[in-house]
């Protein structure tokens, strides 16, 4: 009881200070005030409902880097940066000094010792195994065939269904189900079939959603507070504990089923077209336990992309024209044909510049250092790279940074324009670059070509479109649309 009263008293003081802050805040004072004891936390909480745009404003006026002072004694100070020179330094040239660190592991405890949270030798080891799997020809064939059949036998029939019914549907939910089923098949070999007319809720998908949100709040709450809430089973942390239990239960179920399948097959599985779990279990006796699915990034990218298309009909017309110019309706969506779609790729990258599926990157310094911007970093400092703000900085992308302009990704002679990953961080940068980048781009192009050829997507007017707070940048209220067939299929 004593700890509850303490918590309540702290909350009351915090509410009072927030009120005080609101009453006496100067209207043009955008930079959060550094309060005695509480640091900048009140300013942060007041702007929580628009945290992403707030971070854009602050980083723009602070020359791309600023020190966020957390409450005193709680070790919550963070250096927030979107300076490409700093990003290159942290992610590549001084990579060994910037690790995920034990606190990251703690915050992302649901993922255990998986590749997302691992450092040093364990990470190198896992990365080597993943690399071998992802680049294996059998896995690549398996991923293309899995994605193609999920599209033809799952997504397309469902889109046809909603087009025939004339009902509205949440496109983000559909993409979430499509990519969740695909990734689960690639990892475990089993299809959870969440993409079906019944649209049943999959417990693992729900757990992943809760984790994404919970992890975000753990970054802005003092550690003792979320630990206490976790221990007491309160609020967001209650959901985190439940998600953790679901993860362990479902993953063990998949592992046991796979173990039996391997024993039954007795080496008949030969590496052609096999899922990651099978490959890992055959190679190593322990590492497969670290394979855990993550909340999906591709669904987030596709949802923001289709919303941006609805606001930019000229871009839709240009993509459709590119599909026709390259004769895709006749020759099909093979890899070679997809590679020719330079404008479509430009539009996808442009969408991920403005709405990066992974909203922030977090690092911890091993030793003290000085960043190229001149900021001093002590050992064990927290560094946050805010991807959402990075894509919107005028100092990085020019005066038109806030506009959706696929043309910025195309060279004068019509080829794809390369931008350094320290400037376009959507797929990470340096030795920890995303291993699924190529697969994700292929998947997104395949889906977009199929949809734009066959359907008109109309976004329902009047709905609020805004990012929800989370590690993955999803749409807080989804994306309600109606679907019509362009011609009978
Ligand atoms: C649009 C889709 C995707 C985006 C934007 C994306 C982005 C990212 C980002 C930002 C990271 C770094 C995360 C961190 O360290 O905090 C990452 C890591 C990773 N991604 Fe992706 N990803 C996508 C799809 C995929 C897919 C489909 C796969 C699986 C085939 C995949 C596999 C991985 C792996 C294994 C890592 C860990 C790399 C490492 O730490 O060495 N990604 N991705």
- Whether 296 is in the pocket of ligand 1, judged by its Cβ within 6 Å, is no
CB 357 less than 6 A from any atom of ligand 1: yes
Q: Which residues, at least 6 apart from 350, have a Cβ–Cβ distance to it below 8 Å?
A: 308, 404, 405, 406, 408, 409
Task: Report the 10 Å Cβ neighbour count for 92.
Answer: 17
Q: What is the pLDDT of residue 79?
A: 97
C-alpha span between 117 and 101 (Å, rounded) = 8
Q: Following DSSP, what letter does each residue of 253-279 receive, concatenated? A: HHHHHHHHHHHHHTT---STT--HHHH
3-state helix vs strand vs coil in the chain, percent to 5: 60, 10, 35
Task: From the CA of 361, give the closest atom in ligand 1.
Answer: 16
- Quick one: tokens of 346? 């430009």
Let me know: does 235 contact 229? Beta carbons within 8 Å. yes
Measured in Å, residue 434 CA sits from the centre of ligand 1 at 4
Give the separation between CA 457 and CA 345, rounded to whole angstroms. Answer: 20
Determine if ligand 1 sits within 6 Å of the CB of residue 298: yes
Is the pLDDT reported for residue 234 higher than 80? yes
Token output for 411: 């060279």
Residue with tokens 């969408």: 351
Q: How far is the CA of 436 from the centre of ligand 1 (A)?
A: 6
Q: Which of 147, 297, 351, 442 to mutate to test the pocket of ligand 1 (most atoms within 8 A of CB)?
A: 297
Which residues fall in the annotated binding site for heme? 434
Residue with CA at minimum distance from ligand 1 atom 12:
428
Ligand 1 pocket residue status of 427, Cβ below 6 Å: yes
Give the residue ranges of the annotated binding site: 434
Nearest protein CA to atom 28 of ligand 1, as residue: 436
Taking the CA atoms of residue 338, residue 277, residue 98 and residue 69 in that order, the dihedral angle to the nearest 10 degrees is: 90
The answer to whether 171 and 479 are in contact (CB under 8 A) is yes
Q: Which of 212, 387, 436, when mutated, tests ligand 1's pocket best, judged by the most ligand atoms within 8 Å of its CB? A: 436
Cα–Cα distance between 409 and 415 in angstroms, integer?
A: 9
Place 290 in a pLDDT band, splitting at 50, 70 and 90.
low
Please return the burial class of 18, using the count of CB atoms within 10 Å of its CB with bins 0-12, 13-18 and 19+: middle
Q: CB neighbours of 175 closer than 8 A, spacing ≥ 6?
A: 298, 299, 302, 303, 447
Residue 437, burial from CB neighbour count under 10 angstroms (0-12, 13-18, 19+):
middle
Residue 359 CA, ligand 1 centroid: distance in Å: 12
pLDDT given at position 27? 44
Q: What is the pTM of this model?
A: 0.88
Question: Which residue puts its alpha carbon closest to atom 35 of ligand 1?
Answer: 435
Residues 6+ apart with CB under 8 A from 382: 76, 77, 78, 79, 103, 362, 363, 364
Distance 106 CA to ligand 1 centre (A): 20
Q: How confident is the model at residue 401 (pLDDT cuts 50, 70, 90)?
A: very high
Residue spans per domain, the chain: 2-120, 124-485
Q: Which residues pair with 39 in a beta bridge?
A: 35
Distance, CA of 448 to CA of 73 (rounded, Å): 50
Q: Which two tokens stand for residue 148?
A: 């193609």
Name 398's Cβ contacts closer than 8 Å, sequence gap at least 6: none
Dig out the tokens for 70 from the structure.
């957390």
- Tell me the average pLDDT across 441-469: 95
Using a 6 Å cutoff on CB, does residue 151 contact ligand 1? Answer: no
Token pair 């404008």 is found at 343
Please identify, by atom number, the ligand 1 atom nearest to the C-alpha of residue 443. 27
Residue 9: partners with Cβ closer than 8 Å, 6 or more residues away: none
CA 466 to chain centre: 15
Can you say whether the dihedral through the CA atoms of 157, 350, 389, 392 is positive or negative? negative
Distance from the CA of 116 to the center of ligand 1, in angstroms? Answer: 8
Alpha-carbon radius of gyration of the chain: 23
Mean pLDDT of 398-426: 97
pLDDT tier at 4, thresholds 50, 70, 90: low
- Predicted pLDDT at 103: 86
Question: Which residue lies with its CA nearest to atom 19 of ligand 1?
Answer: 434
Distance 11 CA to ligand 1 centre (A): 37
The atom of ligand 1 lying closest to the CA of 352 is: 5
User: Does ligand 1 lie within 6 Å of residue 434's CB atom?
Assistant: yes
Residue-level pLDDT at 43: 82
Q: Answer whether 240's CB lies under 8 Å from 110's CB.
A: yes
Taking CA atoms, 470 is separated from 208, 213, 297, 467, in Å, by 11, 4, 12, 9
Whether 288 has a pLDDT exceeding 70, the answer reads: no
Residue 405 has pLDDT above 90, yes or no: yes
Among 8-17, 33-42, 183-192, 415-424, the range scoring the smallest mean pLDDT is 8-17
Residue 402 has pLDDT above 90, yes or no: yes
**Residue minimizing CA distance to atom 39 of ligand 1:** 432
Residue range 349-382, pLDDT digits in tens: 999 999 999 999 999 999 999 999 999 999 999 9
- What is the pLDDT, as a whole number, of residue 137? 84
Binding site membership of 40 for ligand 1 (Cβ less than 6 Å): no
Average pLDDT over residues 228-246: 88
Q: Answer whether CATH 3.20.20.120 is correct for domain 124-485.
A: no
Q: How many helices (H) and strands (E) does the chain have?
A: 21, 10
Section 158-163 average pLDDT: 96
Please answer whether residues 470 and 359 qualify as being in contact, where contact means their C-beta atoms are separated by less than 8 angstroms: yes
Check pocket membership of 86 for ligand 1, CB cut-off 6 A: no
Q: Cα–Cα distance between 294 and 369 in angstroms, integer?
A: 32
Percentage of residues in the chain with pLDDT exceeding 70?
A: 88
Q: Answer whether residue 1 shows pLDDT above 70.
A: no
Measured between its terminal Cα atoms, the distance across the chain in Å is 65
Range with the lowest mean pLDDT among 24-38, 91-105, 394-408, 410-424?
Answer: 24-38
For ligand 1, mutation pick of 428, 431, 438, 474 (most atoms within 8 Å of CB): 428
| Interatomic CA distance for residues 451 and 449, integer angstroms | 6
What percentage of residues in the chain have a pLDDT greater than 90?
54
Phi and psi at residue 99, to the nearest 5°: -110, 175
Ligand 1 center–CA 426 separation, angstroms: 9
What are residue 383's DSSP bridge partners? 79, 363
CA distance 40 to 58: 12
User: Closest residue (by CA) to atom 31 of ligand 1?
Assistant: 436
Average pLDDT, the chain: 87
Ligand 1 atom having least distance to the Cα of 428: 10
Is 149 or 5 the better-scoring residue by pLDDT?
149
Rounded to whole angstroms, how far apart are CA atoms 406 and 322? 13
Q: What is the pLDDT of residues 324-350, one digit of tens each?
A: 999 887 777 778 889 999 999 999 999
- Ligand 1 atom with the smallest distance to the CA of 356 is 5
- 474 and 468 in contact (C-beta within 8 Å)? yes
The answer, yes or no, to whether any atom of ligand 1 lies below 6 A from the CB of 435, is yes
């Amino acid at each position: 009881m004593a700890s509850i009263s303490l918590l309540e008293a702290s909350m009351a003081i915090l509410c009072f200070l927030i009120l005080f802050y609101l009453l006496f805040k100067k209207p043009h004072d955008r930079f959060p005030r550094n309060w005695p004891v509480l640091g900048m936390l009140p300013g942060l909480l007041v702007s929580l409902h628009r945290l992403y745009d707030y971070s854009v404003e602050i980083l723009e006026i602070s020359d791309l880097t600023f020190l966020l002072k957390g409450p005193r004694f709680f070790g919550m100070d963070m250096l927030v940066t979107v300076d490409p020179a700093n990003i290159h330094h942290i992610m590549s040239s001084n990579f060994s000094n910037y690790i995920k660190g034990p606190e990251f592991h703690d915050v992302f405890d649901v993922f255990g010792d998986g590749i997302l949270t691992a450092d040093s030798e364990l990470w190198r080891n896992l990365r080597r195994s993943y690399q071998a799997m992802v680049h294996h020809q059998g896995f690549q064939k398996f991923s293309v065939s899995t994605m193609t059949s999920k599209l033809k036998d799952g997504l397309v029939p469902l889109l046809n269904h909603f087009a025939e019914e004339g009902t509205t549907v949440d496109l983000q939910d559909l993409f979430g189900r499509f990519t969740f089923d695909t990734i689960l098949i690639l990892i475990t070999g089993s299809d959870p079939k969440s993409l079906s007319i019944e649209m049943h809720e999959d417990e693992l998908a729900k757990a992943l959603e809760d984790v994404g949100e919970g992890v975000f709040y753990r970054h802005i709450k003092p550690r003792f507070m979320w630990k206490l809430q976790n221990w007491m089973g309160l609020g967001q942390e209650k959901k985190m504990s439940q998600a953790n239990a679901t993860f362990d239960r479902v993953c063990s179920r998949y592992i046991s089923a796979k173990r039996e399948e391997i024993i039954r097959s007795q080496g008949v599985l030969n590496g052609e077209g096999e899922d990651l779990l099978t490959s890992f279990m055959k190679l190593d006796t322990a590492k497969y336990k670290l394979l855990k699915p993550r909340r999906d990034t591709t669904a987030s990218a596709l949802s923001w992309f289709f919303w941006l298309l609805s606001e930019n009909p000229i871009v839709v017309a240009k993509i459709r024209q590119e599909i026709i110019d390259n004769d895709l309706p006749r020759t099909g969506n093979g890899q070679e044909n997809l590679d020719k779609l330079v404008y479509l790729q430009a539009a996808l990258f442009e969408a991920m510049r403005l709405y990066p599926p992974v909203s922030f990157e977090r690092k911890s310094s091993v030793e003290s250092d000085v960043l190229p911007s001149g900021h001093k970093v002590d050992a064990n400092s927290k560094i946050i790279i805010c991807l959402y703000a990075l894509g919107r900085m005028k100092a990085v992308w020019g005066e038109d940074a806030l506009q959706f302009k696929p043309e910025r990704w195309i060279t004068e002679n019509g080829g794809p324009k390369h931008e350094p990953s320290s400037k376009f961080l959507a797929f990470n940068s340096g030795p920890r670059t995303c291993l699924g980048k190529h697969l994700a781009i292929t998947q997104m192009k395949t889906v977009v070509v199929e949809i734009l050829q066959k359907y008109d997507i109309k976004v329902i007017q009047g709905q609020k479109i805004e990012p929800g707070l989370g590690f993955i940048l999803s749409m807080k209220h989804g994306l309600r649309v109606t679907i019509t067939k362009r011609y009978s299929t």
